[in-house]
Amino acid sequence: MDFNTLFQGFNDKKVLIVGDAMIDAYMWGDVNRMSPEAPVPVVEVKKHENRLGGAANVALNLKALGANPILCSVIGVGERGVLFEKLMKESNLSTEGILSTNKRKTTIKTRVIAENKHQLRIDEEETSPIEQVEEFLKLTISLINDIDVIILQDYNKGVLTPEIIERVIDSANKKGIPTIVDPKKLNFNSYKNCTIFKPNLAEIKAGMKVDFDANNIAEIEKATSELRKKLSAKGILLTLSERGICINSEKEFKHTPAFKRNIIDVSGAGDTVISVASLCLASNMDYTDLSVLSNLAGGIVCEEVGVVPINKEKLLTQALKHIS
């Protein structure tokens, strides 16, 4: 495989991301004692940091890979909304697909980190379906022209409703644009006729209401085959955490074990996987090769603390080294 040509081609790709965007806030500190009030550590905060999260982190990953991402999402007005747009502009990301409303608040996830690990996470969010469905659809569909691939990034925060999902996928299919989905439980079965559907192990079990042995490849193949037929998808890309990844397509089923890694933090790994997979899909890459490269990318970001975008040069170097 000519990875140099593939990675060079990423620079020409225009990607639309539709889904739940948020702010990832961090409190970095040290733990030197336990609280006298409860059996919990006392974190002495040394630094505060705000980063783009959720679907916006997918946009960051795509930007890091050289692509041109356009994020479509709904955020609140006020201080957090202003902060979100400021973070977008600082990252040189377009805000043309961002709809602001005083009827929602911008989701913020605050992670307290000490001793190189999460001590606590605090979520401030709104998860009810958005009210501005027609306005958001009009904005999103107006941006679909000249797009190479569409990502639907669902965190169950209300931006992706069944109607929005159906109309975005339908519009994409009419224009011949591939779609790739990162689902959550609520809308799991709404993504009919997508190109690639990328659940993780917990999501496929909850979404299909089934249980199976994650170490039994035959059972995984059966479950992903049933899901592919149910959704009329061209491929199911199932991430298996430390067990790797598998792809079930019309052509074949293939399981790829995880590459050996020093795992520190799995936050944001799914965002990286779908970002790489989307660009491979837009490049007409074989689905099996797509799954292997996405698997490698997800492992790389797990070696860092917090949610971070992929490093393109590191991924290229690792791909040339580990993938034949």
Residue 297 neighbours by CB under 8 Å, 6+ apart: 272, 273, 275, 276, 310, 315
Q: Which of 2, 6, 4 is nearest to 280 (CA)?
A: 6
Contact in structure between 55 and 153 (CB atoms under 8 Å): yes
CA-CA distance, 173 to 189, in Å (whole number)?
18
The residues assigned a catalytic role are 271
CA distances from 37 to 34, 41, 42, 43 (A): 9, 10, 10, 14
CA-CA distance, 285 to 293, in Å (whole number)?
10
In this structure, the number of other CB atoms found within 10 A of the CB of residue 137 comes to 18
Radius of gyration of the chain (CA): 19
CA-CA distance, 101 to 323, in Å (whole number)?
46
